[in-house]
Amino acid sequence: MSAPRLRILIIEGNTAEANAAMAAAGCGSNAEQYAQAVRRAMPEADIRLAFPADRADALPPGVALGDFDGAILGGSGLFVRASGNAPEVRRQIDLVRALFDVGVPLLGSCWGLQVAAVAGGGDVARSPNGREVGVCRAVTLSDAGAAFPMYAGKPRVFDSLAIHYDEVSRLPEGARVLASNGHSPIQAATFAVGKGVFWGVQYHPEFSLAHMALLIRRYGPDMVAQGIYPDRAAMDRETDGMLRLDGVADPLAAETAGLAVDLGIGATITDPAQRCREIDNWLQFCSSRKPDRIRL
């Protein structure tokens, strides 16, 4: 008899309108980025999508929150605070609180970390260091992070991908900071709320370099206006390089070494097995909670 498949709920953080704009720019949705990462690690997983930004009845027909072995909330172009949120944001906070109530493990990145922090009693604010975009440099594990199962097999210091204005300014009570860098003091955290357990990161382990490059191009005028790139040509050169390095297991191989060094991009970003280690470890955590364990 085969082991039961993991049932994973992936929550789309953007509205349908925002996703249409992303599609026009050649980007898939943020939920689909996570679905691809889950399928890479666990092809047999039963993945369902939810769209709370657009409607209150966000769950797929015929399922309840308690049916899932884990839930994931990735990125969004929305903004969340402890109070004064728009309906499309409040619905996501309510959904996360409901997940905590029924004890479904939750993984979040960027927007997902921020929404979970607010749902658990924390807060979010604009980063005083401005926008972090592209390569998220020198993410450094705390002692707690180095011992935490999400980071099993991950270097103590690594680069990832990121795009955010906001960051968690106050964590829920009892939370532990797992990682930080020079831009954001909370690059990863874990906490428990009610019956729920949350693992989250501010960066995007689920993003491919291609997705990151297309997002940067989508926001191209803003990127130049904010001084992230001196001009459109510089932005195009960098994003062209990202597209060339996407999925390369060894970026320092002869054919890509010069480009990788110029962009400062290594295998912890280009190689999905290294970049997505946090996701793989979370899936293993979810599988370990099932009566019949599923091994990656």
141 vs 155: CA distance, rounded Å:
8
177 vs 181: CA distance, rounded Å:
12
Helices 277-288, 30-41: inter-axial angle, 10-degree rounding: 70
Residue 177: enclosing H or E segment and its boundaries? strand 176-180
39 vs 29: CA distance, rounded Å:
15
286 tagged catalytic: no
User: Which of these is catalytic: 167, 204, 211, 286?
Assistant: 204
206 tagged catalytic: yes
44 tagged catalytic: no
Q: How far is CA 273 from the centre of its chain?
A: 15
User: Which of these is catalytic: 12, 32, 88, 110?
Assistant: 110
User: Which of these is catalytic: 206, 238, 276, 278?
Assistant: 206
Buried b (16+ CB within 10 A) or exposed e, 258-296: ebbeebebbbbbbbbebbbbbbbbbbbbbbeeeeeebee
Task: Provide the annotated active-site residues.
Answer: 110, 204, 206
